[in-house]
């Protein structure tokens, strides 16, 4: 149907119907990016240690990835301001 409004998905949890809000997936891309940065930093540091060279710059990549992941987690945990006003 052209022009029909799109319905939000609903789930039945413990006898209550729960609708997914628009903000249910906030911060997911940021968390994935942070995780990838952390994994790359760990892999690079392990490869340089295997070669016998201590590389401390990869620790910065791990810390940067952890910070980006934390930012995504904070964004994902926030409630929309309209939802806070309704409660």
- Which residues of the chain fall below pLDDT 50? 22
Residue 33 sits at φ, ψ, to 5 deg, of: -60, -45
CB 31 within 8 A of CB 74: no
CB 30 within 8 A of CB 65: no
Question: Which among 21, 26, 25 has a CA at the least distance from the CA of 10?
Answer: 21
Is pTM, for the whole model, over 0.75? no
What number of other Cβ atoms are within 10 A of residue 61's Cβ? 19
Q: pLDDT value at position 49?
A: 87
Separation between Cα atoms, residue 65 and residue 51, nearest integer Å? 24
Q: pLDDT value at position 71?
A: 94
């Amino acid at each position: 149907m052209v022009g029909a409004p799109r319905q939000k998905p609903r789930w039945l949890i413990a006898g209550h119907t729960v609708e997914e809000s628009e903000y249910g997936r906030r911060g997911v891309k940021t968390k994935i990016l942070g995780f990838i940065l952390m994994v790359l930093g760990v892999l690079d540091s392990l490869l340089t240690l295997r070669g016998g060279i201590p590389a401390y710059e990869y620790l910065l990549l791990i810390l940067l990835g952890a910070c980006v992941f934390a930012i995504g987690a904070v964004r994902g945990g926030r409630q929309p301001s309209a939802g806070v006003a309704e409660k």
